[in-house]
């Protein structure tokens, strides 16, 4: 039995979905949810960025201050307010509907990213329709939606999936302005373009306008003009985009006395340009190196399409896609600060390029090097499978039931892919990559990262659970306050409370005895100072211990949980 035979139902379903754009969109939404939901509800808050965003949103709800952005007592003047408003809307609605502990339920904050990621898949389809047929536009959206990087961003409560959705809306409109100028009438596309720019500015500042601006500059140099951009209604459109963002900008400048601009542009953005910020420095070429993993399963297909792109580099459609990809990629390769998601805006364009090459019949699999490149399709998930099994052996724990359920099909698909690559149509291999992505995400996110093998890294949830069980059951302790020594991750702030005290051993000792319903989390390195600061009559006792590894850096932790003993009635 060949891989093509196995995937016949998937191919039939794809063909059936292409009867109309509505059916295609529904099918893409369903496949996207299948790809993005494994682990979505059960992954712990993933330090550090995700709980920082979620905690800042939680503080907006606690204080009813929807202008200033704060993490505990510190002003968080790095990104604009858009993502916090979106998250606050979702969590506030959940509270109104009676969802228990909504403010510390991380997946509610992630719903905004999930919606953004699904929108990215749909907008990739919409944009690809300018370049290829409906069938291949759907395949481009599936190929992009199955990549590792968008799958990760869909599961994290931060800005990047939403920002990419605004970029895709803007680039889809820009492609139509440039490649189909005679068809553009009315205000619909300009409204899409400029609303995307305005919302993008409100979510992550200049990133959204930067991508179409750089592409437009390249196209302007090539064509020696930008007459085609008149269809975008630039003057009223720019005014509309500014109206979206300026009111909040004025309010935050007043609230922070101008420091927001200095910190967000001067410290955050220019700091990343000048130096490798927050230990994320790396040399040029880093993104190309990690592309083979973060863009799987797109990466090998993109490599195969490269010779065709070079040959067709003067065609208007290919020029547009190159202008989309190359300037952004080169910019981020040159910037010292490197984070994998920075080049994510180029991935949908690469998926579209792949489908243009396939539609032209340019991805022949007869050459040895082509078959070698396509070995990356089953190779990356095989590496993840081996790593997951190794983690199970190291931890002495079985993976979760979802991993065991999906494992036979996972292995079956890998074996057939290894055997049949180069002997089947390229579309079959592509769909195999999408199917393998689904198996991989179920195995990794539902079977490993939210079950026993990953328990050592679940420090913050375990500490919060121990504190609630130890003191929350007491009728006198409606609210538990905590201090922490040696473990200051944002996830612990999010799960235990905004007033979590990040303390030294001596400070934690004074804190825990000063009032009832208090608990101290003390790493073994700080326990001597903590204990020596306690008086003989303090009646503070060790409740439990939590051992494990810090999710950031992997440092070993041995946390003692201390509280004042409660006398039996």
In a domain, 279, yes or no: no
Compute the chain's Rg from CA coordinates: 26
* pTM listed for this prediction: 0.94
The domain boundary, picked from 338, 359, 380, lies at 359
In sequence order, the 6+-apart residues with CB closer than 8 A to the CB of 560 are 521, 522, 523, 524, 527, 542, 544, 545
- The C-alpha angle 440, 446, 451, rounded to 5 degrees, equals 130
| pLDDT, tens digit, 9 for 90 and up, residues 40-69 | 999 999 999 999 999 999 999 999 999 999
Among residues 342, 359, 376, the one where a domain terminates is 359
Element (H, E) at 318: helix 316-334
The model's pLDDT over 469-496, given as tens digits with 9 standing for 90+, comes to 877 656 567 778 999 999 999 999 999 9
The β-bridge partners of 521 are: 484, 561
Does residue 537 lie in a domain region?
Answer: yes
Q: How far is it, in rounded angstroms, from Cα 123 to Cα 129?
A: 10
Domain boundary among 359, 377, 397: 359
- Residues 468, 480 contacting (CB under 8 angstroms): yes
Average pLDDT of span 226-254: 94
Report residue 569's pLDDT band, with 50, 70 and 90 as the boundaries.
Answer: very low
Domain hosting residue 472, numbered range = 458-564
Say whether both 188 and 337 belong to one domain: yes
Q: Is residue 450 part of a domain?
A: no
Q: CB atoms < 10 A from the CB of 370, how many?
A: 18
pLDDT band (50, 70, 90) for residue 5: low
Q: How far does Cα 373 stand from its chain's mean position?
A: 27
For residue 393, tell me if it sits in a domain: no
Q: Is residue 404 part of a domain?
A: no
* Number of structural domains in the chain: 2
Residue 553 domain-assigned? Answer: yes
Using one digit for the tens of pLDDT, what is the confidence trace for 508-540?
Answer: 999 999 988 899 999 999 999 999 999 877 889
> What percentage of the chain reaches a pLDDT higher than 90?
73
Backbone angles phi and psi of 518, in degrees to 5: -125, 150
**Cα–Cα distance for residue pair 461/521, rounded to 1 Å:** 13
Task: Tell me, yes or no, whether 190 and 71 share the same domain.
Answer: yes
pLDDT value at position 495? 96
Let me know if residue 294 belongs to a domain.
no
Q: How far, in Å, CA of 518 to CA of 510, rounded?
A: 11
Please report, for residues 158, 163, 174, 339, the alpha-carbon distance to residue 79 in angstroms, rounded to integers and kept in the order given. Answer: 11, 12, 25, 16
Is residue 31, in this structure, part of any structural domain at all? no
Report the CATH number that the domain containing residue 554 is assigned in CATH.
3.40.190
Q: Are the C-beta atoms of residues 27 and 13 closer than 8 Å to each other?
A: yes
Per DSSP, the three-state class of 549 is strand
Query: Residue 12 contacts by C-beta under 8 Å, 6 or more apart in sequence?
Result: none
400-436: per-residue pLDDT in tens? Answer: 999 999 999 899 888 888 777 766 678 888 988 999 9
């Amino acid at each position: 039995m060949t891989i093509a035979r196995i995937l016949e139902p998937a191919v039939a379903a794809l063909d059936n979905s292409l009867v109309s754009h509505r059916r295609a969109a529904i099918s893409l939404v369903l496949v996207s949810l299948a790809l993005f939901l494994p682990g979505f509800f059960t992954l712990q808050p993933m330090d550090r960025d995700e709980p920082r965003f979620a905690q800042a949103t939680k503080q907006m709800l606690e204080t009813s201050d929807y202008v200033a952005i704060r993490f505990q007592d510190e002003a968080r003047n790095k990104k604009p307010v858009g993502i916090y408003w979106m998250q606050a809307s979702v969590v506030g609605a959940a509270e109104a509907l009676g969802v228990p502990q909504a403010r510390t339920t991380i997946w509610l904050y992630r719903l905004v990213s999930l919606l953004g990621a699904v929108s990215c898949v749909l907008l990739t389809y919409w944009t690809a329709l300018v370049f290829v047929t409906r069938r291949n536009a759907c395949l481009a959206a599936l190929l992009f939606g199955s990549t590792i990087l968008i799958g990760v961003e869909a599961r994290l409560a931060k800005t990047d999936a939403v920002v990419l959705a605004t970029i895709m809306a803007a680039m889809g409109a820009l492609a139509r302005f440039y490649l189909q100028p005679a068809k553009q009438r009315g205000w619909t596309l300009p409204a899409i373009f400029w609303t995307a720019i305005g919302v993008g500015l409100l979510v992550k500042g200049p990133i959204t306008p930067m991508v179409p601006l750089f592409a437009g500059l390249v196209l302007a140099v090539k064509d020696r003009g930008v007459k085609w951009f008149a269809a975008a209604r630039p003057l009223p459109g720019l005014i509309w985009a500014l109206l979206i963002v300026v009111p909040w900008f004025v309010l935050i400048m007043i609230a922070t006395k101008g420091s927001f601009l200095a910190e967000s542009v001067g410290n955050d953005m220019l700091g990343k340009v000048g130096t490798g910020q927050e230990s994320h420095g790396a040399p040029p070429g880093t993104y190309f190196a990690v592309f083979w993993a973060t863009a799987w399963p797109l990466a090998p297909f993109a490599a195969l399409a490269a010779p065709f792109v070079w040959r067709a580099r003067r065609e208007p459609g290919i020029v547009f896609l190159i202008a989309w990809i190359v300037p952004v990629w080169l910019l981020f390769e040159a910037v010292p600060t490197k984070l994998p998601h920075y080049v994510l805006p180029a991935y949908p364009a690469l998926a579209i390029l792949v489908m243009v090459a396939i539609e032209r019949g340019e991805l022949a699999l007869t050459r040895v090097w082509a078959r070698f490149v396509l070995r990356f399709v089953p190779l990356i998930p095989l590496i993840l499978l081996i790593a997951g099994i190794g983690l199970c052996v190291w931890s002495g724990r079985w993976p979760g039931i979802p991993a065991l359920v999906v494992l036979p099909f996972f292995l079956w698909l890998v074996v057939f892919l290894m055997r049949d690559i180069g002997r089947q149509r390229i579309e079959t291999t592509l769909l195999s990559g999408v199917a393998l992505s689904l198996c991989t995400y179920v195995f990794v996110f539902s079977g490993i990262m939210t079950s026993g093998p990953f328990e050592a890294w679940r420090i913050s949830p375990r500490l919060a659970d121990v504190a609630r069980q130890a003191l929350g059951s007491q009728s006198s302790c409606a609210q538990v306050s905590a201090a922490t020594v040696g473990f200051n991750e944002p996830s612990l702030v999010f799960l235990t409370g905004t007033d979590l005290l990040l303390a030294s051993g001596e400070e934690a000792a004074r804190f825990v005895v000063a009032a009832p319903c208090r608990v101290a989390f003390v790493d073994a390195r700080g326990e001597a100072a903590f204990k020596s600061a306690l008086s003989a009559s303090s009646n503070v006792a060790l409740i439990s211990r939590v051992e494990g590894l810090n999710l950031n850096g992997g440092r070993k932790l041995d946390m003692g949980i201390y509280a004042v003993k409660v006398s039996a009635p």
